[in-house]
Protein backbone atom coordinates (compact mmCIF):
# COMPACT_ATOMS: atom_id res chain seq x y z
CA UNK A 1 0.00 0.00 0.00
CA UNK A 2 2.16 2.68 -1.42
CA UNK A 3 2.07 6.16 -0.10
CA UNK A 4 4.66 7.92 -2.19
CA UNK A 5 3.63 9.92 -5.22
CA UNK A 6 5.13 8.26 -8.26
CA UNK A 7 7.73 10.32 -10.07
CA UNK A 8 6.17 10.08 -13.50
CA UNK A 9 5.91 13.13 -15.73
CA UNK A 10 2.23 13.99 -16.16
CA UNK A 11 2.38 13.64 -19.92
CA UNK A 12 3.97 10.24 -19.57
CA UNK A 13 6.83 11.30 -21.80
CA UNK A 14 9.03 8.47 -20.46
CA UNK A 15 7.34 6.10 -22.87
CA UNK A 16 6.65 8.07 -25.99
CA UNK A 17 3.81 10.51 -25.50
CA UNK A 18 1.24 8.01 -24.36
CA UNK A 19 -0.35 7.50 -21.02
CA UNK A 20 -2.65 4.61 -20.21
CA UNK A 21 -6.26 5.82 -20.70
CA UNK A 22 -9.55 4.78 -22.28
CA UNK A 23 -8.57 6.48 -25.52
CA UNK A 24 -5.19 4.77 -25.63
CA UNK A 25 -6.40 1.22 -24.98
CA UNK A 26 -6.41 0.60 -28.72
CA UNK A 27 -2.66 1.27 -28.84
CA UNK A 28 -1.77 -1.50 -26.38
CA UNK A 29 0.07 -4.59 -27.59
CA UNK A 30 -2.20 -7.55 -28.34
CA UNK A 31 -0.95 -9.69 -25.45
CA UNK A 32 -2.12 -7.15 -22.87
CA UNK A 33 -5.59 -8.17 -21.73
CA UNK A 34 -8.14 -5.34 -21.69
CA UNK A 35 -11.51 -4.73 -20.02
CA UNK A 36 -14.03 -6.86 -21.92
CA UNK A 37 -16.89 -4.42 -21.47
CA UNK A 38 -17.90 -0.90 -22.33
CA UNK A 39 -16.77 1.20 -19.36
CA UNK A 40 -19.10 4.04 -20.25
CA UNK A 41 -22.05 1.78 -19.40
CA UNK A 42 -20.86 0.88 -15.90
CA UNK A 43 -22.31 2.52 -12.81
CA UNK A 44 -20.97 2.29 -9.25
CA UNK A 45 -22.44 -0.08 -6.64
CA UNK A 46 -19.46 -0.34 -4.31
CA UNK A 47 -17.48 2.28 -2.41
CA UNK A 48 -14.12 0.97 -1.32
CA UNK A 49 -12.27 2.65 1.56
CA UNK A 50 -8.49 2.30 1.33
CA UNK A 51 -7.76 1.90 -2.36
CA UNK A 52 -4.23 0.60 -2.02
CA UNK A 53 -2.33 -1.97 -4.02
CA UNK A 54 -4.02 -4.91 -2.31
CA UNK A 55 -7.55 -3.88 -3.25
CA UNK A 56 -6.53 -3.16 -6.82
CA UNK A 57 -4.90 -6.59 -7.18
CA UNK A 58 -7.70 -8.51 -5.47
CA UNK A 59 -11.30 -7.33 -5.14
CA UNK A 60 -11.12 -4.91 -8.08
CA UNK A 61 -10.00 -7.80 -10.29
CA UNK A 62 -12.96 -9.93 -9.20
CA UNK A 63 -15.26 -7.02 -10.01
CA UNK A 64 -13.54 -6.57 -13.37
CA UNK A 65 -14.41 -10.20 -14.16
CA UNK A 66 -18.01 -9.66 -13.07
CA UNK A 67 -18.39 -6.51 -15.15
CA UNK A 68 -17.24 -8.51 -18.15
CA UNK A 69 -20.01 -10.97 -17.27
CA UNK A 70 -22.63 -8.21 -17.34
CA UNK A 71 -22.90 -7.01 -13.71
CA UNK A 72 -22.97 -3.45 -15.01
CA UNK A 73 -24.09 -1.68 -11.83
CA UNK A 74 -21.30 -2.98 -9.61
CA UNK A 75 -18.46 -0.62 -10.50
CA UNK A 76 -16.18 0.67 -7.74
CA UNK A 77 -15.61 4.15 -6.37
CA UNK A 78 -12.29 4.03 -4.53
CA UNK A 79 -11.45 6.28 -1.62
CA UNK A 80 -8.12 7.16 -0.05
CA UNK A 81 -8.41 8.14 3.58
CA UNK A 82 -5.08 9.93 3.74
CA UNK A 83 -3.07 10.81 0.67
CA UNK A 84 -4.14 11.95 -2.81
CA UNK A 85 -1.35 9.90 -4.43
CA UNK A 86 -3.55 7.14 -5.90
CA UNK A 87 -6.09 9.61 -7.27
CA UNK A 88 -3.34 11.81 -8.69
CA UNK A 89 -1.74 8.85 -10.45
CA UNK A 90 -4.95 7.26 -11.72
CA UNK A 91 -7.11 10.27 -12.62
CA UNK A 92 -5.12 11.10 -15.79
CA UNK A 93 -5.52 7.41 -16.72
CA UNK A 94 -9.34 7.36 -16.42
CA UNK A 95 -8.68 5.20 -13.31
CA UNK A 96 -7.28 2.40 -15.47
CA UNK A 97 -4.23 0.55 -14.23
CA UNK A 98 -2.25 -2.58 -14.98
CA UNK A 99 -2.31 -5.80 -13.00
CA UNK A 100 1.07 -7.46 -13.54
CA UNK A 101 0.97 -11.09 -12.48
CA UNK A 102 4.47 -12.40 -11.90
CA UNK A 103 5.73 -15.93 -11.54
CA UNK A 104 8.94 -17.72 -12.37
CA UNK A 105 7.42 -18.24 -15.83
CA UNK A 106 7.17 -14.53 -16.64
CA UNK A 107 4.68 -11.67 -16.33
CA UNK A 108 1.12 -11.36 -17.59
CA UNK A 109 -0.30 -7.89 -18.02
CA UNK A 110 -3.97 -7.07 -17.71
CA UNK A 111 -5.71 -3.69 -17.65
CA UNK A 112 -8.32 -3.38 -14.92
CA UNK A 113 -11.29 -1.10 -15.55
CA UNK A 114 -13.55 -1.66 -12.55
CA UNK A 115 -12.51 1.47 -10.64
CA UNK A 116 -14.61 4.36 -11.92
CA UNK A 117 -13.57 7.23 -9.65
CA UNK A 118 -11.31 8.02 -6.74
CA UNK A 119 -12.27 10.14 -3.76
CA UNK A 120 -9.68 11.69 -1.48
CA UNK A 121 -11.37 11.78 1.90
CA UNK A 122 -9.43 14.63 3.55
CA UNK A 123 -10.05 16.92 0.56
CA UNK A 124 -13.82 16.44 0.38
CA UNK A 125 -15.10 14.35 3.26
CA UNK A 126 -18.68 15.43 2.54
CA UNK A 127 -18.48 14.14 -1.01
CA UNK A 128 -17.33 10.73 0.17
CA UNK A 129 -20.11 10.55 2.75
CA UNK A 130 -22.61 11.50 0.02
CA UNK A 131 -21.31 8.69 -2.23
CA UNK A 132 -21.63 6.19 0.60
CA UNK A 133 -25.08 7.48 1.53
CA UNK A 134 -26.33 7.20 -2.06
CA UNK A 135 -28.74 4.21 -2.17
CA UNK A 136 -26.94 3.01 -5.33
CA UNK A 137 -24.05 2.10 -3.01
CA UNK A 138 -24.99 -1.33 -1.74
CA UNK A 139 -21.60 -2.42 -0.45
CA UNK A 140 -18.90 -0.42 1.33
CA UNK A 141 -15.76 -2.52 1.47
CA UNK A 142 -12.53 -1.76 3.30
CA UNK A 143 -8.82 -2.46 3.19
CA UNK A 144 -7.50 0.09 5.66
CA UNK A 145 -4.91 -2.25 7.27
CA UNK A 146 -5.09 -3.45 10.84
CA UNK A 147 -4.35 -0.07 12.39
CA UNK A 148 -7.05 1.63 10.30
CA UNK A 149 -9.76 0.19 12.55
CA UNK A 150 -8.66 2.33 15.51
CA UNK A 151 -9.21 -0.56 17.85
CA UNK A 152 -7.27 -2.43 20.49
CA UNK A 153 -6.09 -5.53 18.63
CA UNK A 154 -6.00 -7.69 21.74
CA UNK A 155 -9.66 -7.07 22.69
CA UNK A 156 -11.21 -6.03 19.39
CA UNK A 157 -12.81 -2.98 21.04
CA UNK A 158 -12.87 0.55 19.67
CA UNK A 159 -10.01 2.65 21.03
CA UNK A 160 -12.02 5.65 22.21
CA UNK A 161 -8.83 7.56 22.93
CA UNK A 162 -7.44 7.19 19.42
CA UNK A 163 -6.88 10.76 18.13
CA UNK A 164 -8.89 10.10 14.93
CA UNK A 165 -11.80 8.69 16.91
CA UNK A 166 -11.74 11.63 19.31
CA UNK A 167 -11.71 13.95 16.29
CA UNK A 168 -14.57 12.13 14.56
CA UNK A 169 -16.77 12.22 17.64
CA UNK A 170 -16.27 16.00 17.77
CA UNK A 171 -16.68 16.42 14.00
CA UNK A 172 -19.13 13.79 12.76
CA UNK A 173 -19.66 15.57 9.42
CA UNK A 174 -15.97 15.71 8.53
CA UNK A 175 -14.51 12.47 9.83
CA UNK A 176 -10.98 11.13 9.34
CA UNK A 177 -11.26 7.46 10.23
CA UNK A 178 -12.93 4.68 8.28
CA UNK A 179 -15.19 4.08 11.26
CA UNK A 180 -16.17 7.77 11.31
CA UNK A 181 -17.09 7.64 7.61
CA UNK A 182 -19.08 4.43 7.96
CA UNK A 183 -21.11 5.80 10.84
CA UNK A 184 -21.64 9.21 9.18
CA UNK A 185 -22.97 7.59 6.01
CA UNK A 186 -25.10 5.02 7.84
CA UNK A 187 -26.61 7.80 9.98
CA UNK A 188 -27.45 9.68 6.78
CA UNK A 189 -29.17 6.63 5.30
CA UNK A 190 -31.11 5.98 8.45
CA UNK A 191 -32.44 9.53 8.55
CA UNK A 192 -33.37 9.31 4.87
CA UNK A 193 -35.28 6.09 5.57
CA UNK A 194 -32.99 4.26 3.13
CA UNK A 195 -31.73 0.72 3.57
CA UNK A 196 -28.12 0.50 4.77
CA UNK A 197 -25.19 -0.77 2.74
CA UNK A 198 -23.38 -3.96 3.66
CA UNK A 199 -19.98 -3.37 5.28
CA UNK A 200 -17.34 -5.72 3.91
CA UNK A 201 -14.00 -5.72 5.70
CA UNK A 202 -11.21 -7.21 3.60
CA UNK A 203 -8.40 -6.81 6.12
CA UNK A 204 -6.38 -9.48 7.89
CA UNK A 205 -8.18 -9.18 11.20
CA UNK A 206 -9.57 -12.07 13.10
CA UNK A 207 -13.37 -12.22 12.54
CA UNK A 208 -13.00 -9.05 10.47
CA UNK A 209 -16.74 -8.61 9.86
CA UNK A 210 -17.67 -9.17 13.46
CA UNK A 211 -14.82 -6.90 14.59
CA UNK A 212 -15.72 -3.99 12.32
CA UNK A 213 -19.39 -4.43 13.29
CA UNK A 214 -18.50 -4.15 16.94
CA UNK A 215 -16.26 -1.12 16.44
CA UNK A 216 -18.83 0.69 14.29
CA UNK A 217 -21.61 0.00 16.78
CA UNK A 218 -19.45 1.12 19.71
CA UNK A 219 -18.59 4.34 17.89
CA UNK A 220 -22.24 4.94 16.95
CA UNK A 221 -23.30 4.41 20.56
CA UNK A 222 -21.08 7.32 21.55
CA UNK A 223 -23.15 9.46 19.19
CA UNK A 224 -26.65 8.07 19.66
CA UNK A 225 -28.12 5.00 21.27
CA UNK A 226 -30.83 4.75 18.60
CA UNK A 227 -28.32 4.88 15.79
CA UNK A 228 -26.30 2.12 17.43
CA UNK A 229 -29.44 0.01 17.83
CA UNK A 230 -30.37 0.53 14.16
CA UNK A 231 -26.87 -0.46 13.04
CA UNK A 232 -26.96 -3.52 15.26
CA UNK A 233 -30.23 -4.75 13.83
CA UNK A 234 -30.08 -3.52 10.21
CA UNK A 235 -26.48 -3.57 9.00
CA UNK A 236 -24.73 -6.74 7.82
CA UNK A 237 -21.01 -7.14 8.41
CA UNK A 238 -20.04 -10.38 6.68
CA UNK A 239 -16.55 -11.65 7.44
CA UNK A 240 -14.13 -12.42 4.64
CA UNK A 241 -10.84 -14.17 4.14
CA UNK A 242 -8.73 -12.44 1.52
CA UNK A 243 -5.50 -13.77 0.13
CA UNK A 244 -3.08 -12.52 -2.46
CA UNK A 245 0.50 -11.43 -1.98
CA UNK A 246 0.84 -7.86 -3.25
CA UNK A 247 4.16 -6.13 -2.55
CA UNK A 248 4.38 -2.37 -2.71
CA UNK A 249 4.83 -1.13 -6.29
CA UNK A 250 8.36 0.15 -6.91
CA UNK A 251 9.86 2.53 -9.46
CA UNK A 252 11.35 -0.52 -11.18
CA UNK A 253 7.87 -2.08 -11.43
CA UNK A 254 6.50 1.11 -12.95
CA UNK A 255 9.12 1.23 -15.63
CA UNK A 256 8.93 -2.51 -16.39
CA UNK A 257 5.15 -2.37 -16.78
CA UNK A 258 5.27 0.86 -18.78
CA UNK A 259 7.79 -0.70 -21.18
CA UNK A 260 5.58 -3.75 -21.63
CA UNK A 261 2.60 -1.50 -22.39
CA UNK A 262 4.50 0.89 -24.63
CA UNK A 263 2.92 3.70 -22.62
CA UNK A 264 3.10 5.01 -19.09
CA UNK A 265 1.11 3.53 -16.26
CA UNK A 266 1.89 5.67 -13.21
CA UNK A 267 0.59 3.14 -10.71
CA UNK A 268 0.39 -0.49 -11.75
CA UNK A 269 0.08 -3.27 -9.19
CA UNK A 270 2.32 -6.31 -9.14
CA UNK A 271 1.21 -9.62 -7.69
CA UNK A 272 1.41 -13.41 -7.73
CA UNK A 273 -0.81 -15.82 -9.71
CA UNK A 274 -2.60 -17.09 -6.58
CA UNK A 275 -5.75 -15.35 -5.43
CA UNK A 276 -8.47 -16.38 -3.01
CA UNK A 277 -11.51 -14.70 -1.51
CA UNK A 278 -13.91 -16.43 0.87
CA UNK A 279 -16.94 -14.42 1.89
CA UNK A 280 -19.83 -14.97 4.28
CA UNK A 281 -23.00 -14.77 2.27
CA UNK A 282 -24.90 -12.03 4.13
CA UNK A 283 -25.80 -9.16 1.80
CA UNK A 284 -29.32 -7.92 2.56
CA UNK A 285 -28.84 -5.05 0.09
CA UNK A 286 -27.79 -7.39 -2.70
CA UNK A 287 -24.44 -8.37 -4.15
CA UNK A 288 -22.98 -9.25 -7.51
CA UNK A 289 -22.76 -12.92 -8.42
CA UNK A 290 -19.40 -13.30 -6.69
CA UNK A 291 -19.30 -17.06 -7.25
CA UNK A 292 -19.20 -16.47 -11.01
CA UNK A 293 -15.75 -14.95 -10.50
CA UNK A 294 -14.45 -17.77 -8.30
CA UNK A 295 -15.25 -16.26 -4.90
CA UNK A 296 -16.20 -18.90 -2.34
CA UNK A 297 -19.42 -18.03 -0.49
CA UNK A 298 -19.78 -19.71 2.89
CA UNK A 299 -21.96 -19.35 5.97
CA UNK A 300 -19.01 -19.08 8.39
CA UNK A 301 -15.60 -17.88 7.31
CA UNK A 302 -13.94 -18.25 10.74
CA UNK A 303 -12.05 -21.51 10.15
CA UNK A 304 -10.60 -20.24 6.85
CA UNK A 305 -9.69 -16.91 8.37
CA UNK A 306 -7.87 -18.59 11.25
CA UNK A 307 -6.14 -20.94 8.87
CA UNK A 308 -4.85 -18.07 6.78
CA UNK A 309 -3.83 -15.83 9.67
CA UNK A 310 -2.14 -18.59 11.64
CA UNK A 311 -0.40 -20.33 8.75
CA UNK A 312 0.26 -17.73 6.06
CA UNK A 313 0.42 -14.46 7.96
CA UNK A 314 2.08 -15.96 11.05
CA UNK A 315 4.93 -17.51 9.08
CA UNK A 316 5.14 -14.39 6.92
CA UNK A 317 5.69 -12.25 10.02
CA UNK A 318 8.17 -14.76 11.47
CA UNK A 319 10.15 -14.69 8.22
CA UNK A 320 9.89 -10.90 8.09
CA UNK A 321 11.39 -10.21 11.54
CA UNK A 322 13.96 -12.98 11.61
CA UNK A 323 14.76 -12.61 7.90
CA UNK A 324 15.26 -8.86 8.23
CA UNK A 325 17.55 -9.32 11.22
CA UNK A 326 19.52 -11.93 9.27
CA UNK A 327 20.07 -9.34 6.54
CA UNK A 328 17.53 -10.56 3.96
CA UNK A 329 15.75 -7.89 1.98
CA UNK A 330 12.88 -10.00 0.67
CA UNK A 331 10.81 -13.00 1.69
CA UNK A 332 11.99 -14.92 -1.38
CA UNK A 333 15.62 -14.26 -0.40
CA UNK A 334 14.90 -15.42 3.16
CA UNK A 335 13.33 -18.59 1.76
CA UNK A 336 16.49 -19.49 -0.15
CA UNK A 337 18.02 -20.36 3.22
CA UNK A 338 16.46 -23.74 3.82
CA UNK A 339 16.58 -23.45 7.60
CA UNK A 340 14.37 -20.38 7.38
CA UNK A 341 11.99 -22.23 5.05
CA UNK A 342 11.93 -25.13 7.51
CA UNK A 343 11.26 -22.72 10.35
CA UNK A 344 8.34 -21.15 8.45
CA UNK A 345 6.90 -24.63 7.94
CA UNK A 346 7.31 -25.31 11.63
CA UNK A 347 5.31 -22.18 12.46
CA UNK A 348 2.53 -23.52 10.23
CA UNK A 349 2.72 -27.03 11.66
CA UNK A 350 2.52 -25.63 15.18
CA UNK A 351 -0.63 -23.71 14.32
CA UNK A 352 -2.35 -26.66 12.66
CA UNK A 353 -3.55 -28.42 15.84
CA UNK A 354 -5.21 -25.19 17.02
CA UNK A 355 -7.51 -25.09 13.98
CA UNK A 356 -10.91 -26.70 13.57
CA UNK A 357 -11.21 -27.03 9.82
CA UNK A 358 -14.08 -28.42 7.77
CA UNK A 359 -13.57 -32.03 6.74
CA UNK A 360 -11.41 -32.51 3.72
CA UNK A 361 -9.16 -29.48 4.39
CA UNK A 362 -5.60 -30.53 3.67
CA UNK A 363 -3.41 -28.34 5.87
CA UNK A 364 -0.22 -30.06 4.78
CA UNK A 365 -0.95 -29.28 1.14
CA UNK A 366 -1.92 -25.72 2.07
CA UNK A 367 1.37 -25.26 3.94
CA UNK A 368 3.36 -26.66 1.03
CA UNK A 369 1.64 -24.24 -1.34
CA UNK A 370 2.47 -21.33 0.99
CA UNK A 371 6.15 -22.24 0.97
CA UNK A 372 6.06 -22.21 -2.81
CA UNK A 373 4.32 -18.85 -2.91
CA UNK A 374 6.80 -17.32 -0.48
CA UNK A 375 9.63 -18.56 -2.70
CA UNK A 376 8.29 -16.87 -5.86
CA UNK A 377 11.52 -15.30 -7.15
CA UNK A 378 9.66 -12.76 -9.28
CA UNK A 379 8.07 -11.00 -6.30
CA UNK A 380 10.16 -8.47 -4.48
CA UNK A 381 8.24 -8.58 -1.19
CA UNK A 382 10.33 -6.74 1.37
CA UNK A 383 10.72 -8.17 4.85
CA UNK A 384 10.59 -4.56 6.06
CA UNK A 385 7.12 -4.08 4.54
CA UNK A 386 5.66 -7.11 6.31
CA UNK A 387 7.45 -6.20 9.55
CA UNK A 388 5.38 -3.01 9.71
CA UNK A 389 2.65 -2.59 12.33
CA UNK A 390 3.63 -5.67 14.32
CA UNK A 391 1.74 -4.42 17.37
CA UNK A 392 -1.44 -4.71 15.32
CA UNK A 393 -0.58 -8.03 13.71
CA UNK A 394 0.97 -10.19 16.43
CA UNK A 395 -2.22 -11.00 18.38
CA UNK A 396 -4.15 -12.68 15.57
CA UNK A 397 -1.10 -14.09 13.76
CA UNK A 398 1.09 -15.50 16.54
CA UNK A 399 -0.30 -14.92 20.02
CA UNK A 400 -3.68 -16.60 19.55
CA UNK A 401 -1.90 -19.79 18.52
CA UNK A 402 0.42 -19.57 21.53
CA UNK A 403 -2.54 -19.15 23.83
CA UNK A 404 -4.24 -22.20 22.33
CA UNK A 405 -1.09 -24.28 22.49
CA UNK A 406 -0.54 -23.39 26.14
CA UNK A 407 -4.11 -24.45 26.85
CA UNK A 408 -3.36 -27.73 25.10
CA UNK A 409 -0.17 -28.20 27.14
CA UNK A 410 2.04 -27.96 24.06
CA UNK A 411 5.37 -26.20 23.55
CA UNK A 412 5.37 -22.61 22.31
CA UNK A 413 9.10 -22.39 21.54
CA UNK A 414 8.69 -22.00 17.78
CA UNK A 415 6.34 -19.05 18.04
CA UNK A 416 8.41 -17.64 20.90
CA UNK A 417 11.36 -17.26 18.54
CA UNK A 418 9.16 -15.33 16.10
CA UNK A 419 7.88 -13.05 18.89
CA UNK A 420 11.46 -12.57 20.10
CA UNK A 421 12.36 -11.61 16.51
CA UNK A 422 9.73 -8.89 16.71
CA UNK A 423 11.10 -7.72 20.07
CA UNK A 424 14.63 -7.58 18.73
CA UNK A 425 13.35 -5.72 15.65
CA UNK A 426 11.41 -3.03 17.52
CA UNK A 427 14.48 -2.05 19.53
CA UNK A 428 15.16 -0.07 16.36
CA UNK A 429 18.77 -1.22 15.96
CA UNK A 430 19.82 -4.14 13.81
CA UNK A 431 22.52 -6.71 14.46
CA UNK A 432 25.14 -4.50 12.79
CA UNK A 433 24.19 -1.54 14.94
CA UNK A 434 22.34 0.23 12.12
CA UNK A 435 19.01 1.95 12.69
CA UNK A 436 15.83 0.11 11.71
CA UNK A 437 13.01 2.27 10.38
CA UNK A 438 10.33 0.75 12.62
CA UNK A 439 6.84 1.67 11.38
CA UNK A 440 4.19 0.95 13.94
CA UNK A 441 1.52 3.01 15.70
CA UNK A 442 3.26 2.03 18.96
CA UNK A 443 6.80 2.57 17.61
CA UNK A 444 7.64 5.41 20.02
CA UNK A 445 6.41 3.50 23.04
CA UNK A 446 8.26 0.34 22.01
CA UNK A 447 11.45 2.27 21.41
CA UNK A 448 11.19 3.97 24.79
CA UNK A 449 10.77 0.57 26.44
CA UNK A 450 13.81 -0.79 24.60
CA UNK A 451 15.86 2.24 25.60
CA UNK A 452 14.87 1.93 29.23
CA UNK A 453 15.81 -1.74 29.50
CA UNK A 454 18.77 -1.82 27.16
CA UNK A 455 19.55 -4.97 25.15
CA UNK A 456 19.13 -7.27 28.12
CA UNK A 457 16.91 -10.18 27.14
CA UNK A 458 15.01 -10.80 30.35
CA UNK A 459 14.40 -7.12 31.07
CA UNK A 460 13.38 -6.29 27.52
CA UNK A 461 11.14 -9.34 27.16
CA UNK A 462 9.41 -8.65 30.49
CA UNK A 463 8.85 -4.98 29.71
CA UNK A 464 7.44 -5.65 26.24
CA UNK A 465 5.24 -8.50 27.46
CA UNK A 466 3.63 -5.98 29.79
CA UNK A 467 2.22 -3.99 26.86
CA UNK A 468 -1.34 -5.09 27.38
CA UNK A 469 -2.72 -3.75 24.10
CA UNK A 470 -0.62 -6.42 22.40
CA UNK A 471 -0.22 -9.29 24.83
CA UNK A 472 -3.25 -9.05 27.11
CA UNK A 473 -3.08 -11.61 29.89
CA UNK A 474 -0.75 -13.87 27.91
CA UNK A 475 2.14 -11.53 28.76
CA UNK A 476 1.89 -12.43 32.43
CA UNK A 477 1.97 -16.19 31.86
CA UNK A 478 5.28 -17.53 33.22
CA UNK A 479 5.48 -20.10 30.41
CA UNK A 480 5.24 -17.27 27.89
CA UNK A 481 7.84 -15.22 29.73
CA UNK A 482 10.18 -18.18 29.96
CA UNK A 483 9.94 -19.15 26.29
CA UNK A 484 10.19 -15.64 24.89
CA UNK A 485 13.06 -14.64 27.18
CA UNK A 486 15.05 -17.75 26.23
CA UNK A 487 14.51 -17.07 22.53
CA UNK A 488 15.46 -13.40 22.87
CA UNK A 489 18.58 -14.29 24.81
CA UNK A 490 19.62 -16.55 21.97
CA UNK A 491 18.90 -13.84 19.40
CA UNK A 492 21.09 -11.35 21.23
CA UNK A 493 23.82 -13.91 21.66
CA UNK A 494 24.11 -15.57 18.27
CA UNK A 495 22.00 -13.42 15.92
CA UNK A 496 18.91 -14.33 13.93
CA UNK A 497 20.59 -16.40 11.24
CA UNK A 498 22.27 -18.68 13.73
CA UNK A 499 19.25 -18.79 16.06
CA UNK A 500 17.08 -20.05 13.20
CA UNK A 501 19.72 -22.42 11.88
CA UNK A 502 20.24 -24.08 15.23
CA UNK A 503 16.61 -23.96 16.32
CA UNK A 504 15.13 -27.24 17.45
CA UNK A 505 11.72 -27.12 19.08
CA UNK A 506 11.52 -28.78 22.46
C1 LIG B 1 1.55 -9.68 4.81
C2 LIG B 1 0.20 -9.71 4.10
O3 LIG B 1 2.16 -7.41 4.90
C4 LIG B 1 1.79 -8.39 5.55
O5 LIG B 1 1.65 -8.34 6.76
O6 LIG B 1 1.63 -10.78 5.66
O7 LIG B 1 -0.08 -8.52 3.45
C8 LIG B 1 0.10 -10.89 3.12
O9 LIG B 1 0.96 -10.71 2.03
C10 LIG B 1 -1.31 -11.07 2.63
O11 LIG B 1 -2.17 -11.20 3.72
C12 LIG B 1 -1.42 -12.28 1.71
O13 LIG B 1 -2.75 -12.53 1.43
For ligand 1, whether the C-beta of 316 sits within 6 Å is yes
For ligand 1, whether the C-beta of 204 sits within 6 Å is yes
For ligand 1, whether the C-beta of 243 sits within 6 Å is yes
In 276-398, where does DSSP find H-type helix?
Answer: 302-307, 314-325, 331-335, 338-351, 363-374, 383-387, 390-394
For ligand 1, whether the C-beta of 382 sits within 6 Å is no
- For ligand 1, the distance from its centroid to the CA atom of residue 106, given in whole angstroms, is 22
**Residue 442 main-chain phi, psi, to 5 deg:** -100, 15
User: Which fold is adopted by the domain 302-501?
Assistant: 1.10.1040
- For ligand 1, the distance from its centroid to the CA atom of residue 320, given in whole angstroms, is 11
- For ligand 1, the distance from its centroid to the CA atom of residue 390, given in whole angstroms, is 12
Exposure string of 43-65, with b = 16+ CB inside 10 Å and e = fewer, is ebbbbbbbbbbbbbbbbbbbbbb
**Is residue 502 helix, strand or coil?**
coil
Helix (H), strand (E) at residue 201: strand 198-201
- For ligand 1, the distance from its centroid to the CA atom of residue 374, given in whole angstroms, is 11
Of all protein residues, the one whose alpha carbon is nearest to atom 9 of ligand 1 is 245
Query: The sheet that has 75-80: what strands, in order across it?
Result: 115-120, 75-80, 44-49, 139-142, 198-201
- For ligand 1, the distance from its centroid to the CA atom of residue 308, given in whole angstroms, is 10
**Is residue 330 helix, strand or coil?**
strand
The CB density around residue 111, as the number of other CB atoms within 10 Å, is: 20
Angle value at C-alpha 159, between 164 and 401, nearest 5 degrees? 130
For ligand 1, whether the C-beta of 276 sits within 6 Å is no
- Cα–Cα distances (Å) from 294 to 65, 97, 288, in that order, read 10, 22, 12
ipTM over 0.85: yes
Pocket test for ligand 1, best of 147, 153, 274, 312 (most atoms within 8 A of CB): 312
Per-residue pLDDT of the chain (506 residues; tens, 9 = 90+): 444 445 554 444 455 689 999 999 999 999 999 999 999 999 999 999 999 999 999 999 999 999 999 999 999 999 999 999 999 999 999 999 999 999 989 999 999 999 999 999 999 999 999 999 999 999 999 999 999 999 998 899 999 999 999 999 999 999 999 999 999 999 999 999 999 999 999 999 999 999 999 999 999 999 999 999 999 999 999 999 999 999 999 999 999 999 999 999 999 999 999 999 999 999 999 999 999 999 999 999 999 999 999 999 999 999 999 999 999 999 999 999 999 999 999 999 999 999 999 999 999 999 999 999 999 999 999 999 999 999 999 999 999 999 999 999 999 999 999 999 999 999 999 999 999 999 999 999 999 999 999 999 999 999 999 999 999 999 999 999 999 999 999 999 999 999 999 998 76
The model's pTM is 0.95
Of all protein residues, the one whose alpha carbon is nearest to atom 5 of ligand 1 is 386
Instruction: Round to whole Å and give the CA distance between 271 and 57.
Output: 7
For ligand 1, whether the C-beta of 147 sits within 6 Å is no
For ligand 1, whether the C-beta of 146 sits within 6 Å is no
- For the chain, the structural domain boundaries read 25-298, 302-501
For ligand 1, whether the C-beta of 301 sits within 6 Å is no
CATH number of 25-298: 3.40.50.720
- DSSP structure class, residue 296: E
Amino acid sequence: MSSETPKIPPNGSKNGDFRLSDANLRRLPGQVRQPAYDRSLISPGIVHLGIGAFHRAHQAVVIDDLLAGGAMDWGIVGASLRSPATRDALAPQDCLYTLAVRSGAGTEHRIIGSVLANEVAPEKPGQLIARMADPATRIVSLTVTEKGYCHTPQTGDLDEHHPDIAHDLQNPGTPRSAVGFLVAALARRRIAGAAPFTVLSCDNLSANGHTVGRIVTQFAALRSRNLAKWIETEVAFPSTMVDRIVPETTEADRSAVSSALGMTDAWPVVTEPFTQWIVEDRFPGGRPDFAAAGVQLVSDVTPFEHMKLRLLNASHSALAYLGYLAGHETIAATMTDERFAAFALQVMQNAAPTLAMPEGTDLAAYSASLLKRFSNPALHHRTWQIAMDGSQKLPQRLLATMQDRLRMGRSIDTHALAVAGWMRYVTGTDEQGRAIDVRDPLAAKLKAIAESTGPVADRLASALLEVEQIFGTLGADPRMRGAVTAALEKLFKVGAREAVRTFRAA
